[in-house]
Amino acid sequence: SDEALASDLAAASVAVEDPLWRMPLWRPYDAKLSSKIADINNVTSDGFAGSITAALFLKRFVEKTAGWAHFDIFAWNPADRPHGPAGGEAQGIRALERIIAKRYG
């Protein structure tokens, strides 16, 4: 939602080799959050577009003047990988730490 924040996160991601990528807040997916029994659903009923619809859900509760980002993190490596061993994964944490230090440190 915030172009400067998105740019800073992308740069931090590259600098610390902690991959992040931006996904669209695609308005047509808003309909996936409709509910017959509530004001809004927090997940889709079809199981698709989870990352995008999660961000669209959060967007409804963020002040329009506030910059924000949604991290949809799969925090688990099922096998050893070049960037880390099997088990818990902190994907995005190093990039997030870098941007916090840059902006507020």
Kindly report, residue by residue over 46-93, the tens digit of the pLDDT: 888 888 999 999 998 988 877 888 888 777 888 988 877 898 888 888
Nearest alpha-carbon partner for 77 in 93, 88, 69, 66: 88
Find the mean pLDDT for residues 14-37.
90
- 37: its two tokens: 């029994």
pTM of the predicted structure, to 2 decimals: 0.73
Contacts of residue 90, defined as CB under 8 A and 6 or more positions apart, other chains included, come to 75
Residue 102 CA neighbour count, 13 Å, CB half: 16
- Give the total number of structural domains in the chain: 1
Instruction: Give the residue numbers spanning the domain of 82.
Output: 3-104
